[in-house]
Amino acid sequence: MSAPIRVAIVDDDPLVRAGLSMVLGGAPDVEIVAEAGDGAAALSVAPAADVVLMDIRMPIMDGLAATERLLAEEPAPHVIVLTTFDADEHVMRALAAGASGFLLKDTPPPQIVEAIRKVAAGEPILSPSVTGQLIRHVTAAGISTEARKAIEQLTDREREVALSVARGASNAEIAAQLFMSVATVKVHLGHVFTKLGVTNRVQVAIRMHDAGLV
C-alpha cells in the first residue's frame, strides 16, 4: 500500500480548518500533517506536506505571499489555493507563483479530495470559474510575443505535448493521443518546463494561451 498523501491546511478560520479536517479525515489515502492560521505560520509547517490547502486572505502574511515563498524553495509542496475569492488578480498571481490548483470554498468535498489526489500526482486542477478567469485574462492580454518566442524553442513533439497539457489532458491521455509511453511524455514535459521557464502544467497552459495557440 502506498504512503498516504500528506496535507497541510492553512486558513485563519478555525471552523474552516475543522471542517476540512473532517472531510479529509474520511479519505483513507490522505493524512493531515499540519495546520496553520496564517501564511507566516504556514512557512514553517507546510514543507512537511505533499499538498497544501491555502487560503488567501489571512493576517500577518496572506496566502498568495506564502505560496510565492513556499514555492521558491526546494523541495516545495504542491499548493491548492482554496478561497471564497476568485478575483482575476488572485487567480493569476497564484498561478504565476506556481500553485497547482485553485478551488473555491463552495467546491463539493469529494471534489476537494479528488483535487488533492490529482495535484499530488502532478496534475493541476482548476474550478470551472477559475478556468473562465484564465481565458478572460488571456483574451484581454492578447497574444504575447514573448510567449511565442519561448514556444519556438520547442520541438514539434514537445509542442504537441504542451498543447495537450494546455487542453487539460493527463499524461496517460497524452500518451494515448500521441502514441507514446507515459515515461516518454514525462521526458518531453520536462523539456517543455525547462524551455518555457515554468515549473508546472498550469504555467505551461498559460504560456500556450498567451501565445494564442489554444
- Domain boundary residue, one of 94, 111, 136: 136
* pLDDT of 142 above 70: no
pLDDT, residue 29, reads 93
- pLDDT tens for each residue of 82-125: 877 655 566 667 777 778 888 888 888 888 998 899 888 877 77
Distance CA 152, CA 159 (A): 9
- Domain boundary residue, one of 136, 166, 192: 136
Which domain, by its residues, includes 106? 5-136
Residue 5 near residue 50 (C-beta atoms within 8 A): yes
The dihedral formed by the CA atoms of 63, 69, 75 and 79, expressed in degrees to the nearest 10: 20
Residues 118 and 164 reside in one and the same domain: no
pTM of the predicted model, to two decimals? 0.68
| Structural domains in the chain (count) | 2
Comparing 120 with 131, which gets the higher pLDDT? Answer: 120
CATH number assigned to the domain comprising residue 147: 1.10.10.10
Distance CA 41, CA 44 (A): 6
Residues 166 and 87 reside in one and the same domain: no
- pLDDT tens for each residue of 15-48: 999 999 998 988 999 999 999 999 999 999 888 8
CATH number assigned to the domain comprising residue 123: 3.40.50.2300
35 DSSP β-pair partners: 9
Residues 33 and 80 reside in one and the same domain: yes
pLDDT, residue 210, reads 76
Distance CA 110, CA 210 (A): 32
**b/e map of 89-122 (b: 16 or more CB within 10 Å)?**
ebbbbbbebbbbbbbeeeeeeeebbebbebbbee
